[in-house]
Chain A
């Protein structure tokens, strides 16, 4: 049997096209409405981020009690992943960057040493600073300083491992 006989192309009915009349608004009007929605969410986003921060602190505390608790580590990852995915949509780019960095850090490690937990705590502290000092966007000079300190800490810890 050659490769042509082994594969088949199927063109199912385009159900989305059939129902595609989503709105009577023009694309420009829909976009304006969508941006209004994002702006409204952005006004209250700091409360969501605060809730995520509290959950990160709780998970970190749990890992300090039991560094091998895979469920708590998964919960920490999940919250960091949420922050990574949401914060930048509402102006907290630095917090989002910290979420991404924390996810990468956790993904690369099975268990967490005391030094690893210090790195986790440092990520959380930067997110805390984003909220307490309203560090929007890349965080400006303060954000840059925090980023440099965290990068240096990660390098130090990785050298020891």
Chain B
């Protein structure tokens, strides 16, 4: 399994590499910013990217936006774990709406990093394409008392007659 670590901090790259190696990862690629990462991915694809939010030139959010731009992306379905020092709800929302797959808040611990990896492997989220968004499904859990609109194939039994006429690819 290959991983691209995108961070302008050499120390953070060292920490992540050593932790991931202890989990069995063997192939590592590195980039110091989002632009370098895009160039790297055009040349050689990877299975996973771990990307810091705050970087000069191109930050992790802009990198994710580029990756989820289907027309030009080297790999629009690449799982992306965004590293951030700040877990404010507003920032989490920005990350989610950009198309980040998982968020990892610093400081990094072995348990939390492993947890994110396991989530990616065992609970992969489908991708959603709308005119305004492309990326992993932003719904993480069923909302108690949700009354619609029901737009998913699996929501079929819940749909109203009007909604049933909509087609889904």
B153, CB-defined interface residue at 8 Å: yes
Which A residues are in CB contact (< 8 Å) with B8?
78
Q: Name the distance in Å between B24's Cβ and chain A's nearest Cβ.
A: 3
A109, CB-defined interface residue at 8 Å: no
Interface residues of A in 1-45 (CB under 8 A from B): 2-12, 14-17, 19-23, 25, 27, 30-31, 33-38, 41
In whole angstroms, how far apart are the Cα atoms of A20 and B123 in the complex? Answer: 13
Given B19, B56, B131, B163, which contacts A38 in the complex, CB threshold below 8 Å?
A: B19
A84, CB-defined interface residue at 8 Å: yes
Which A residues are in CB contact (< 8 Å) with B122?
17
A7 in contact with B129 (CB, 8 Å): yes
A84 in contact with B106 (CB, 8 Å): yes
Interface residues of B in 63-118 (CB under 8 A from A): 77, 79, 83, 85-86, 106-111, 113-114, 117
Interface of A is mostly: helix
Q: Name the distance in Å between B2's Cβ and chain A's nearest Cβ.
A: 9
Nearest first, the 10 A-B pairs at minimum CB distance are: A4-B166, A23-B24, A22-B24, A85-B106, A34-B110, A89-B107, A88-B107, A33-B22, A7-B130, A12-B77
User: Which B positions have Cβ atoms within 8 angstroms of A?
Assistant: 1, 8-9, 11-12, 14-15, 18-19, 21-25, 47-48, 54, 56, 77, 79, 83, 85-86, 106-111, 113-114, 117, 120-122, 124, 126-131, 137, 149, 151-153, 162-163, 165-169
User: Which A positions have Cβ atoms within 8 angstroms of B?
Assistant: 2-12, 14-17, 19-23, 25, 27, 30-31, 33-38, 41, 48, 74, 77-78, 81-82, 84-89, 96, 99-100, 103
